[in-house]
Amino acid sequence: MQSGGDMPVPPHWRSIHLPQFEQTLGAGALISIAAGAVALLLVLIIQFRVHAFVALILVSFLTALVTGIPAANILNTLTSAFGSTLGGVALLVGLGAMLGRLLEVSGGAQALADDLVRRFGEKRAPMALGIASLFFGFPIFFDAGLVVMLPVMFTVARRLGGSLLLYGIPVATAFSCMHVFVPPHPGPVAAAELLGADVGLLVIIGLVVAIPTWIVAGHFFGKWIGNRINLPVPDDVVEEKSSDEHVTQPSPGLVVALLLLPLMLIFMNTGLDFARAQEWVSKDAGWFQLLRAIGSTPIALLISVLVAAVVLGPMRGRAPSKVERIVESALGPVCSVILITGAGGMFGGVLRASGIGDALSGALADIGMPVFVAGFLISTALRVAQGSATVALITAAGLVQPAIQAAGYQGVELAAVVIAVASGSVMLSHVNDSGFWLVGRFFNMDIKTTFKTWTVMQTLMGLLGFALSGLIFWLA
């Protein structure tokens, strides 16, 4: 989440402690094992058609065994990583799917889609969806935002026709750009704290990089790939109409308000954190802790689902039993997504616990290249090794912190270094990235198509972000 896109990894990874052991294998052996594990996973899924959930569990187990994790610790390592990923994903995806389903079945998604198309024109519909996602993506995690926007995206795609990628790539790229480059998302915030960058300045630099990156990697690439790969709207996404003649369709304004509700609740936490940092309030105050709980992403989505259920249900003439069936129908299609995402987190957890990520980052750090480039490459290696963009960003920032402090970077230069490291954290997304599976399954893409679309888009994002941050660093 995330994804997402990466997915929202840091909160639950900071709270988990995978079993520790003394690794005796060298860096070369560990890197070779990682490459073999990824190759085996691809062969199982592509060649032998093994379900991704089963293949990820099997490869995770074999990787743990080969890298020397004690047999007594393997099960705990697997289940801890799987459970921690689900802890961050299941609530967000489940509640987000409920909210999205309510908006879709009530006609809200259609109303918003009609309004967007009317305002921007049919030819600019993908741009309209992407711009809306950039706005919504400012405070919300990749996966939660993507799930909420899915019914709107599917509705527009059904109405206007053409490949789903024409609409899906701009939306997914928008959420990913905001999640990776712009505070208050956890990766850039944590990296800013580690490297001493000013968060306010980082927001500005992050937007300066995120917006043109989205234009190229999201809008133009989405149009290009969408014209070459015809991807239909998934079969299990059906447009359900209410048979109740007394039901009225919500207005576009109401739909926007329902979409903004969780975003505003989540964004409230940013204001609370700022007030705490300025020592305007005490973090131990009861009201402060209550508001922070309400502003957490799962609770914000829960409140939004409850409000939407009332506003789009009884208040518009829809029976409570009908609302219950709508909410229930949202969970079935996302169960596979949640389980596969959890298994992807399991694979990434094994790579972390085995020391493969440390081996890659250490090998690059010893080469002695310029810190700006080293941060990007270390972050890229960590991303490839363990999947999580946020973990790669935070770990790489910690590794280059001494060199950056010694160089004495300040202000814009320091913010540009953070963006460079963030750019590496989205490179070459593949099968150990939960966002890879989330987008692939939601868009109903096979693994080859996901590589051609999501992986290429993420790599393009990383290269563009690195180039733009380098330009800013040079001009500063």
Note the pLDDT tens digit of each residue in 240-278.
Answer: 444 454 567 788 888 888 878 887 887 787 678 778 877
By the 10 Å C-beta count (0-12 exposed, 13-18 middle, 19+ buried), 351 is classed as buried
Same domain (yes/no): 171, 304: yes
* End position of a domain, from candidates 289, 317, 343: 343
In a domain, 55, yes or no: yes
Same domain (yes/no): 158, 31: no
* Strand (E) or helix (H) holding 414: helix 411-424
What percent of the chain has a predicted confidence (pLDDT) above 90?
16
Residue 118 belongs to domain spanning: 89-180+237-343
DSSP state of 4: E
Total Cβ atoms within 10 A of residue 201: 15
In a domain, 454, yes or no: no
Encoding tokens for residue 435?
Answer: 């966002």
The mean pLDDT of 331-352, rounded to a whole number, is 76
- Measured between alpha carbons, how far is 195 from 344 in angstroms, rounded to an integer? 29
- Measured between alpha carbons, how far is 145 from 164 in angstroms, rounded to an integer? 18
Same domain (yes/no): 166, 289: yes
In a domain, 363, yes or no: no
Choose the weakest-confidence range: 114-128, 189-203, 428-442.
189-203
| Residue 15 · residue 88 · CB < 8 Å | no
- Measured between alpha carbons, how far is 366 from 371 in angstroms, rounded to an integer? 11
Short-list 270, 309, 298, CA closest to 182: 270
Same domain (yes/no): 143, 283: yes
Banded model confidence at residue 11, pLDDT cuts 50, 70, 90: very low
DSSP state of 6: E
Same domain (yes/no): 80, 174: no
Same domain (yes/no): 170, 41: no
* End position of a domain, from candidates 299, 326, 343: 343
What is the pTM assigned to this prediction?
0.65
pLDDT tens digits for range 137-181: 765 667 777 877 887 788 888 888 888 899 999 999 999 998 888
pLDDT tens digits for range 413-439: 888 989 999 999 899 988 877 788 888
In a domain, 137, yes or no: yes
- Measured between alpha carbons, how far is 9 from 85 in angstroms, rounded to an integer? 7
Cα dihedral 365, 466, 224, 203 sign: positive
Would you say residue 364 has pLDDT above 90? no
Q: How many Cα neighbours within 13 Å face the side chain of 391? A: 33
In a domain, 292, yes or no: yes
Same domain (yes/no): 82, 93: no
Short-list 320, 255, 334, CA closest to 97: 334
In a domain, 80, yes or no: yes
Same domain (yes/no): 39, 168: no
What are the distances in angstroms from CA 179 to CA 174, 322, 376?
Answer: 9, 35, 17
Same domain (yes/no): 160, 80: no
* End position of a domain, from candidates 313, 343, 373: 343
| Residue 92 · residue 143 · CB < 8 Å | yes
> Which is more confidently placed, 58 or 15?
58
Domain count across the chain: 2
Same domain (yes/no): 156, 254: yes
In a domain, 456, yes or no: no
What are the distances in angstroms from CA 441 to CA 28, 233, 237?
Answer: 34, 12, 12
In a domain, 164, yes or no: yes
| Residue 111 · residue 102 · CB < 8 Å | no
Q: SS3 for 99-128, per residue?
A: HHHHHHHCCHHHHHHHHHHHHHCHHHHHHH
Same domain (yes/no): 128, 46: no
- Measured between alpha carbons, how far is 109 from 332 in angstroms, rounded to an integer? 20
Encoding tokens for residue 73?
Answer: 């610790």
Bridge partners of 323, per DSSP, are: none
Same domain (yes/no): 139, 112: yes
